[in-house]
């Protein structure tokens, strides 16, 4: 038995973005960038560790919307085109930078990575990288869990039990279809928890979930072990609390690892730096500059005068940072020794897309952490929540408090002056969807298609991503449009059903566009018993 345990949790999620009506669509790049910069590098890294005989365990949450996109033919074909275009750009870059060795070397590094992406994606995974993750679960290194169907921030739907049930039940069904297993754990979107949520989780055979640190600290009991052991809820589910300081070691804007001057600078991309005539084929029409993935500078510091990136220097730094992370864990375990009646479990959850995408060296840092952890396994062993529960099945009983990992720890990110208008419409759509379930309890044929699409639109408008984007100001016009689209589509169906009409042409068009969860059964919006 180890002196302490590390629960590394990665949450992979992107909202459902799919626009067959356009040749190229800007926000689809979220997915393509994540595949190239995060998901494929993670798969390569995990497989490398297995080949080297390193034993490790990661809890890996993959959202149902992300899974849906990763198994969508159109999007996956577009991803291949995306990589091919990056390869074409890379070849041009090698020629352009042939007389500048320090840039040429970096351009070659990216080009090699894109070639590897294309090979892995098309030949190893045959356009379906979910198989890669599924295979890693079979090999026993990942425990794949699920999250709410469209990543709804559940506390804002507490009064709509049918919507919460729909978000969870459909997620579990979707997980089964994609991974062939029943998920035992659940990632609460944004760690958003309210007392009572466990009822819906339990009803869907979920055994554990994660909350923010103050969810445990301010629970209805004095937590004897802080966040270093789970609380067992009355219905038998377990809540695991995030460790704040070790999560912050990666996240902190001031002192977090990714901000080190030698790491790759995210914001200096040739998509913005090179002349329009040269870069036009690789950005968006009409002349909208975007990231291309070719970034030649290091963070350097708070200056516009950046130095060129040096992969070797960055490599040495990430080794130092991995060692620092391990030492922080070990010091924490030492401090806790004797204060707990069991070995502590340190839970460090992160959004997966930050590794590789924003923090370019993040995947290599994680690999180094895993290798070092394996060396120190007598003191710090990587395990999953289920494995911790197998070692320590009896835990303090208690219920966490309403909490999230958002700013100030509650709902204010998702209910703010910039996004609060959406709830009037979403709540109304949920009420009306339930009304439709009872008005049309057993439909077939065209009406069944209409009702299932209505349910899809309701789930899609509940996504937490849109209010988040409205609040944080990244691609606001698109987020606003998405909420309006799904509410509009739902209302159109609702009004048509009241008039007993169906617009078949419109329905077919919308079904083809918003085709997430093809097996969705609209009666999922019935009120839970």
Residues of span 156-175 touching another protein by CB under 8 A: 156, 158-159
The least distance separating another protein from the CB of residue 52, rounded to whole angstroms, comes to 29
Stretch that binds another protein, among 2-10, 77-85, 452-460, 487-495 (CB under 8 A): 487-495
Q: Write the DSSP symbol of residue 348.
A: E
List the one residue from 4, 90, 132, 155 that touches another protein (CB under 8 A). Answer: 155
Task: Scan residues 273-312 and list those touching another protein (CB under 8 A).
Answer: 284, 288-291
- In the complex with another protein, which residue's Cβ is closer, 168 or 413? 413
- Structure-token match 């990589």, residue found: 83
**How far from the centroid of its chain's Cα atoms is residue 283's Cα?**
25
**Per rule CB under 8 A, is residue 74 in the interface with another protein?**
no
Min dist. Cβ of residue 63 to another protein (A) = 12
Binding mask 355-394 for another protein (x = CB under 8 A): --xx------------------------------------
Quote the CA–CA distance of 467 and 473 in Å, as a whole number.
10
Residue 348's DSSP bridge partners are: 8
Piece of 2-10, 122-130, 220-228, 517-525 that binds another protein (CB under 8 A) = 220-228
Determine if 477 is a binding residue for another protein (CB under 8 A): yes
Report if residue 511 touches another protein, rule: CB under 8 A: no
Question: Residues near 444 by Cβ (< 8 Å), separated by ≥ 6?
Answer: none
User: 25 or 104: whose CB is closer to another protein?
Assistant: 25
- Contacts to another protein from residues 422-451, by CB under 8 A: 423-425, 427-428
Alpha helices in 1-98 (DSSP H): 29-34, 40-51, 64-70, 73-96
- Give the length of the chain: 529
Task: Report whether 139 contacts 50 (CB < 8 A).
Answer: yes
Residues 12-51 touching another protein, rule: CB under 8 A, are: 14, 19, 22, 25-27, 29-30, 33-34
Closest CA to 346 of 246, 207, 249: 246
Three-state secondary structure readout of 104-142? HHHHHHHHHHHHHHHHHHHHHCCCCCHHHHHHHHHCCCE
Nearest distance from C-beta of residue 488 to another protein, angstroms: 4
Q: Per rule CB under 8 A, is residue 465 in the interface with another protein?
A: yes
Q: How far is CA 22 from CA 17, 65, 285, 293, 513, in A?
A: 12, 20, 11, 22, 11
User: Please, what is the minimum distance in Å from the beta carbon of residue 441 to another protein?
Assistant: 23
Q: Figure out which of the listed residues 484, 502, 506, 521 binds another protein, where binding follows CB under 8 A.
A: 484
Interacting residue with another protein among 280, 328, 371, 447 (CB under 8 A): 328
CA distances (Å), origin 489, targets 166, 410, 452, 486, 506: 19, 31, 12, 5, 10
C-alpha span between 417 and 38 (Å, rounded)? 33
Contact between 1 and another protein (CB under 8 A)?
A: no
Q: Using CB under 8 A, which of 131, 272, 374, 506 touches another protein?
A: 272
> Is there binding between residue 260 and another protein (CB under 8 A)?
no
**Residue 506 is a binding residue for another protein (CB under 8 A):** no
Positions 96 through 135 that interact with another protein (CB under 8 A)? none
Residue 408 vs 499, nearer CB to another protein: 408
256-286: b (≥16 Cβ within 10 Å) or e = ebbebebbbbeebbbbeebeeeebeebbeee
Whole-number Å distance between alpha carbons of 189 and 169: 15
Grouping H, G, I as helix, E, B as strand and the rest as coil, residue 328 is helix
Residue 261 engages another protein in binding (rule: CB under 8 A)? no
- Specify the residue, 172 or 297, whose C-beta has the smaller distance to another protein: 297
Among the listed residues 20, 161, 256, 261, the single contact to another protein using CB under 8 A = 256
Helix (H) / strand (E) containing 147: strand 142-147
Residue 290 vs 502, nearer CB to another protein: 290
Report the Cα 153 to chain-centroid distance in Å: 14
Assess 340 for contact with another protein (CB under 8 A): yes
Contact residues for 267 (Cβ-Cβ < 8 A; gap 6+) = none
473 binds another protein per the rule CB under 8 A: yes
């Amino acid at each position: 038995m180890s002196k302490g345990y590390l629960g590394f949790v990665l949450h992979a999620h992107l909202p459902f973005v799919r626009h067959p009506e356009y040749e190229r669509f800007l926000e689809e790049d979220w997915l393509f960038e994540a595949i190239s910069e995060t998901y494929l590098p993670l798969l390569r890294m995990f497989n490398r560790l297995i080949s080297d005989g390193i034993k490790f365990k990661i809890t890996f949450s993959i959202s149902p919307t992300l899974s849906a996109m990763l198994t969508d033919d159109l999007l996956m074909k577009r991803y291949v085109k995306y990589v091919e275009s990056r390869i074409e750009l890379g070849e041009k870059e090698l020629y352009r930078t042939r007389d500048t060795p320090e840039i040429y070397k970096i351009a070659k590094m990216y080009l090699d990575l894109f070639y590897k992406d294309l090979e892995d994606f098309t030949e190893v995974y045959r356009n379906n990288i979910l198989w890669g993750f599924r295979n890693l679960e079979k090999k026993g290194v990942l425990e794949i869990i699920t999250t709410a169907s469209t990543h709804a921030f559940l506390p804002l739907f507490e009064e709509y039990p049918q919507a919460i049930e729909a978000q969870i039940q459909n997620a579990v069904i979707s997980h089964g279809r994609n991974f062939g297993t029943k998920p035992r754990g659940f990632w609460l979107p944004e760690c958003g928890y309210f007392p009572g949520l466990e009822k819906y989780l339990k009803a869907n055979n979920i055994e554990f979930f994660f909350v923010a640190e103050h969810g445990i600290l301010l629970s209805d009991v004095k937590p004897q072990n802080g966040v270093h052991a789970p609380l067992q809820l009355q219905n038998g589910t377990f809540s695991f609390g995030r460790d704040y300081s070790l999560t912050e070691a990666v996240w902190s804007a001031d002192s977090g690892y990714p901000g080190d001057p030698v790491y790759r600078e995210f914001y200096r991309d040739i998509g913005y730096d090179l002349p329009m005539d040269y870069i036009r084929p690789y950005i968006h029409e009409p002349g909208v500059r975007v990231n291309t993935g070719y970034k030649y500078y290091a963070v350097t510091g708070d200056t516009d005068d950046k130095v060129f990136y040096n992969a070797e220097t960055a490599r040495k730094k990430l080794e130092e940072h991995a060692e620092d992370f391990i030492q922080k864990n070990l010091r924490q375990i030492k401090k806790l020794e004797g204060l707990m009646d069991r070995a502590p479990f340190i839970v460090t959850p992160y959004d997966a897309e930050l590794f590789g995408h924003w923090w370019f060296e993040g995947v290599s840092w994680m690999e180094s952490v895993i290798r070092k952890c394996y060396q120190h396994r007598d003191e710090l062993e990587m395990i999953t929540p289920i494995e911790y529960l197998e070692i320590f099945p009896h835990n303090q009983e208690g219920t966490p408090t309403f909490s999230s990992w958002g700013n100030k720890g509650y709902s204010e990110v998702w209910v703010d002056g910039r996004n609060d208008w959406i709830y009037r419409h979403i709540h109304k759509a949920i009420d009306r969807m339930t009304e439709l379930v009872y008005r049309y309890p057993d439909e077939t044929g065209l009406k069944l298609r209409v009702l299932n699409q209505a349910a899809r639109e309701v789930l899609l408008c509940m996504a937490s991503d849109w209010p988040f984007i409205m609040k944080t100001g990244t691609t606001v016009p698109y987020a606003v449009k998405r909420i309006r689209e799904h509410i509009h589509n739902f209302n159109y169906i609702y009004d048509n059903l009241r008039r007993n009409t169906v617009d078949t042409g419109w329905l077919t068009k919308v079904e083809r566009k918003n085709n997430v969860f093809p097996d969705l059964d609209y009666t999922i919006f019935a009120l839970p018993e």
